[in-house]
Amino acid sequence: MTRAWSLLTISGIRQYGGNTGYDDDPEAVYLYDSDVANHRQVGAGDIVFIRSRSEVLGIAEIEHILERIGQKDRLRCPHCRATNIKRRLTKSPPWACKTGHVFEEPVNEPVTVTTYEARYGGSFRRVSSDLTIARLHEAVLRPSDQMSIKELDLAHLEPFLGQDTSIEALLNRCVAEMSVPQDGAKTPPDSAASRIEERRRVLREISLRRGQEQFRERLIKRYGLRCQISGYDFAPAIEAAHIRPYAVSRDNGAGNGLLLRSDLHTLFDLGFIGIDPVTRRVSFNPACLYDGYAAYDGALLLTHGTSGPDVQALTERWNFYLTIKNKGLFV
């Protein structure tokens, strides 16, 4: 799945952690190494925002990442070997470490690291001045002042990206690659209105409708990948339905489930469809028979040669269906 990142680029020596800096070309390539937090998380196809200390320079999509083994200079305090050192511009000696030692020059210690070159020059675009550093920081999922690579909630930034058609195309690709989250997976909180947040909402709803992934797979193994009422077998439209509501029963066993086409799942949950626990024949509320569902009224529940759902669960649901039907209730 596409992720979004804030990448800090600094000209000259980057003093944090004793690193001597990276020769970035902010509009084309970002250099980092295995000492940098999140170095393994960034991937080709991810969206990146290149920033300096004071402004957001642009947005791009990573085309590819080159990985090599290399060396870099790490500066240390000559007294305690600490890497947390800083050059002081107005004091002498010019260098100091976190423990209070001061010195003329640090020790240069070459170390072996894995180096990475994230290349994105073909898609780099300047962003609207509405996208400020402050707004970029607000979109960080796990804030930390010490990190040069930070993950972002792209939906939070979408309203500030302007009308550039290339950025529009980039966002559309990001939306198209979003997938239904696994049951229980966390997603960022709702952000300002955006196509990304709308897509998240739809996918969350689909995920909830499908039920827990293991529950759905359990039912597919038992009944085959098709709707047990209509026989429909287009996988994205087949959902795992609880006979006894999960919120009440906490039962994800195969005996408490049915595989139903999404529209039939909704009608079943609303009590507009019942299944006779003795004959296993499907019954529709008369209100549904005017909307194309008459063909399934009286159909035998498809059980794939198994004993089918739990009889007691079907009985409870059948009684609920009859209550809705006999009282003429509609939701």
Q: Which candidate, 214, 183, 181, places its Cα nearest to that of 1?
A: 181
Q: Which segments within the chain are labelled E, that is strand? A: 4-8, 29-33, 47-51, 56-61, 64-76, 85-87, 95-97, 102-103, 107-119, 149-152, 238-242, 257-261, 273-275, 282-284
Q: Are 98 and 84 in contact (CB under 8 A)?
A: yes
- pLDDT score for 195: 74
Whether 194 and 233 share a structural domain: no
Give the DSSP letter string of 88-103: -SSSSSSEEETTS-EE
Q: What is the largest CA-CA distance in the chain?
A: 93
Whether 203 and 235 share a structural domain: no
Residues 6+ positions from 257 with CB-CB distance below 8 Å:
211, 215, 218, 219, 240, 241, 242, 243, 309
Number of H helices, E strands in the chain: 8, 14
Whether 32 and 133 share a structural domain: yes
Whether 154 and 17 share a structural domain: yes
Identify the domain boundary among 175, 199, 234: 175
Mean pLDDT split into 10-residue runs, the chain, 331 residues: 88 46 79 92 95 93 95 91 90 94 94 94 93 93 84 89 85 71 52 66 67 84 96 92 82 91 92 94 89 90 94 92 74 46
Query: What is d(CA 91, CA 95) in angstroms, rounded to the nearest whole number?
Result: 8
Whether 191 and 256 share a structural domain: no
- pLDDT score for 192: 47
Whether 197 and 216 share a structural domain: no
Whether 28 and 114 share a structural domain: yes
| Cα–chain center distance at 168 | 20
Q: Are 320 and 329 in contact (CB under 8 A)?
A: no
Q: Which amino acid is at 79?
A: H
Query: What is d(CA 220, CA 54) in angstroms, rounded to the nearest whole number?
Result: 54
Q: What are the CA-CA distances from residue 292 to residues 140, 226, 289, 306 (Å)?
A: 48, 19, 6, 29
Residues 6+ positions from 166 with CB-CB distance below 8 Å:
123, 125
Whether 130 and 184 share a structural domain: no
Which of 183-189's residues contact partners 24+ apart within 8 Å by CB, and which partners?
183/207, 183/210, 183/211, 183/212, 183/213, 183/214, 184/212, 188/141, 188/153, 188/155, 188/156
- pLDDT score for 193: 53
Residues 6+ positions from 34 with CB-CB distance below 8 Å:
113, 114, 115, 116
Residues in the chain: 331
DSSP-based three-state secondary structure for 259: strand
As a whole number of Å, the CA-based R_g of the chain is 29
Q: Are 209 and 265 in contact (CB under 8 A)?
A: yes
Q: What are the CA-CA distances from residue 166 to residues 61, 118, 156 (Å)?
A: 11, 19, 19
- pLDDT score for 292: 80
Whether 245 and 157 share a structural domain: no
Q: Which segments within 120-176 are labelled E, that is strand? A: 149-152
Whether 22 and 145 share a structural domain: yes
- pLDDT score for 191: 47
| Cα–chain center distance at 115 | 27
Q: Are 192 and 223 in contact (CB under 8 A)?
A: no
- pLDDT score for 170: 84
Whether 80 and 194 share a structural domain: no
Whether 170 and 91 share a structural domain: yes
Number of domain units in the chain: 3
Q: What residue numbers bound the domain in which 316 lies?
A: 211-327
